[in-house]
Each structure stands twice: as C-alpha cells, then as structure tokens.
Amino acid sequence: MKWMRIALPVGVFIAGYLGMKGIEASASDSAIKEEVDTRPTVTIESLSPEDVRVRLTSYGEITPLETTNLAAQVSGEVESWNPKFVSGGLVRRGETLFSIEQDAYEAALLLAEANLASAKAQLIQEEAQADVAAREAKTMPDARVTDLYLRKPQVMSAQAGVKSAEAQLKIAKRDLDNCKVKAPYDALIVSRNISTGDYVTQGSPVAVINNIEYAEITFPVAGFDRLFLADNTIGSDIAIEVDDVQGATVKGTIHRDTGVIDNNTRMSYFVARIEDPYAINTTKPIVKFGSYSTISFEGKTLSDVYRVPQELVTNRKLWTLDEDNKLTSHKVKVIREENGDFLIQGEFNASKVVMTLPEYPQNGMAVKVIENSSDLVTAQTN
C-alpha cells in the first residue's frame, strides 16, 4: 500500500498539469480564432481630369443710365401737361411732357420771317446796283473804279443782313418748338414741380426723370477672381437675378471696366447694362431702379483639373493608396474653390483617391478598402 501513497499524489499532479496545458491550448486557439482586423477602413474613387469653365458671381444695385434735371428752355405760362407726366409715369422718347403758351413765340417767328424777306430784298437791290456799276466801270478809267463805286461794301452788308435774319428765324423756330417740352429719351418720371397756369422761366427746373432705355449695375470683382476673368469679358453676356423678381433671370451685358482698383478692398469694378429695364418695348420682367441683384458670368476655362470635396485636401495635401493599399500623401495645387469643391492640379494616383480618411492619417499606414458606403457603415459599426 506504500506505493499507492506515492503514486496517488504523482497522478494527481500529472493530471493537473495535463489539464492546465489543455486549457492553455484551448485558450490560445480561441484567441487566434477571435483575432480581428484593426486596420482603418477607407473608401476610394477614381478621378478623371476635366476642363472647367469658371463661373464668377458678384452683386450690385440697379441704377439708371442717366438722371436728368429737366428745365424749361423758354419762359411762359404752362398751358397743359401730359397725364403721364406724374411721379412714376413712363413716357417715350419725343413724347410731349407739357406745353408753354406759344402766342409770343409765334409772333416772334412771323417777325423773323418778315425780317428775312426784307433782308433778301435789300440784297437783291444791292446786287442789281452792283451789276450796273460794274458795266459802267468798263467805260471809265481804272483810277476812278473803286470797291465803293462797285458797291462791294453795300453788297457785303446786305449779305450779312440776310444771314442775321436767317439766324433770328432759326432762333424763333427753336423757341416755338421749345414751347412743347418733350422727353429726351424713354423716361421714368421721378418728380414734377409745375402745374397748369404756372409761369416758368428759361432754365428753371421743372422735373427729374430717369433714362429707362438702359439700366446699369456697377459690381465688384475680388482680386482672387480677377485671375479668372476671360479675355473677352467686356461685351460678354451675364445672367442677373433680381431680388424683387422672384424666379426670373434677366439678361445683361458687361459694358465696361471702370479702370480702377479700390485702395481699401482691392476690388475692381465693372459696369453691366440691361436693355429696356421697365419693359416698355418687350414682355420681359420689369427691373426697378434701386433693386439689389446677383450677377453671374463665365470666366476662363481651366484645363486638366480634378474636382474633389474640400475636406479631402488638408494643408495642400491629397491622400491616395499605393500598390500595397497604404496611405500616401501628395502635394497638390488648389486652383480654385467652387461650390464646396476644390479644383486641383498635381501628380498623384488618380485611380485610388481616398474619399474617407482615417482620423489620423499617416504615410505608409495600412488600410482596408471598403467597396461602397454601406460596407463602410457596417465596418465602422462593428
């Protein structure tokens, strides 16, 4: 029985040892089976270079092409005025705005016509007498033939009288025509300060009118946008969205560059024109002076650029994958920001651009590529 006392503890020890090793082996197998892929997950896309026509935007207030302080050119009593000659009225070029009493100017015209007829008669008489003197001079010694004898001064005086009478007649006709004050262009009446029976004097202001044949918009172009202006900017078409005209776009033309750069803002200013803003000749939307507008027009064409979301470019770096699916950063040149994207140029693997970066990307970091966004959401959840 002595050997039993020795064998039993030894057996227990051996059994315990074997049990411990079995547990370690099973635990190791379980650890191997439960090992997970800890690489960050990313998605990639293939980009292609494209030619992009830059579209520039600006803003500005719509103003009249010109504003005129209308004044009477003759003096007299106001006989009548056009019913449209009121604040807010629209009149066409050449339309009579108001009339001044004409009696005195009609009489002045008749007097000027009579004076011209008299001056012409005097000229005819002097020319006839000069002809007689010229014939008589042929039979006289040359010493006795003078300009005075040939009546040259008298003829010249009569000719001057005719010209003076013609000038007076022209003035009389002009004054009579000016009794009817007409619109110098298609106009919006801003204000009127005369009424029937008022006496106006020459040069006295009677109204303020705005030219509605064209409207103008002076709009700024920032310094960083000047680089993208097309060579044919002047004369190019623009699209104008007016705050007061919802859902409508009005066409205009860039008319000129003001030729200066603002010292404070470093902006250049251009002037656009809109034809017939109050639509008196067309059926397009009415654009009122004082309205605020947003302007857009085409600039230069950028060749061979890549469009990427702004969040993919940090510190001018874009991330791609190499052949071993490891992160690689590339310096790129940001040409322009447009609608939440960057337009970039540079040397990089355009077929494997990383679209979803790890939180702390590093060059050479191994990553796992997810084929689509649903897979990425599942991987991140797990």
Q: What is the mean pLDDT of each run of 10 residues along the chain (382 residues)?
A: 56 60 56 66 91 93 95 94 95 95 94 94 88 78 74 87 94 94 95 93 93 96 90 92 80 94 91 94 90 93 92 90 90 89 91 88 89 47 44
pLDDT computed for residue 375 by the predictor:
45
Asked whether the beta carbons of 357 and 312 are under 8 A apart, the reply is: yes
Phi, psi of 310 (to 5 degrees): -60, -35
pLDDT computed for residue 373 by the predictor:
46
Around 73, how many Cα atoms within 13 Å sit in the side-chain half-sphere?
13
The domain locations on the chain are 41-50+303-381, 55-64+212-302, 74-210
DSSP β-bridge partners for residue 55:
298
Phi, psi of 20 (to 5 degrees): -65, -45
Residue among 202, 185, 179, 204 at smallest CA distance from 98: 179
Report, in angstroms and rounded to the nearest whole number, the Rg of the chain calculated over CA atoms.
Answer: 47
Write out the CATH class of domain 55-64+212-302.
mainly beta
pLDDT computed for residue 4 by the predictor:
55
Asked whether the beta carbons of 179 and 75 are under 8 A apart, the reply is: no
41-50+303-381: which CATH topology? Answer: 2.40.420
pLDDT computed for residue 41 by the predictor:
87
Please give the angle made by the CA atoms of 18, 22 and 26, to the nearest 5 degrees: 175
Phi, psi of 276 (to 5 degrees): 50, 60
CA–CA dist 284, 370 (Å, integer)? 53
Residue among 107, 108, 125, 110 at smallest CA distance from 162: 125
Which residue type, as a one-letter code, is found at position 52?
Answer: V
363: which 2 tokens?
């060059």
pTM higher than 0.75, yes or no?
no
**DSSP 8-state secondary structure symbol assigned to residue 33:** H
Angstrom CA distances, 278 to 281, 293, 377, stand at 8, 15, 56
Which residue type, as a one-letter code, is found at position 167?
Answer: A
Residue among 249, 252, 218, 250 at smallest CA distance from 236: 252
CA–CA dist 176, 183 (Å, integer)? 16
Asked whether the beta carbons of 344 and 375 are under 8 A apart, the reply is: no
pLDDT computed for residue 131 by the predictor:
86
pLDDT computed for residue 8 by the predictor:
57
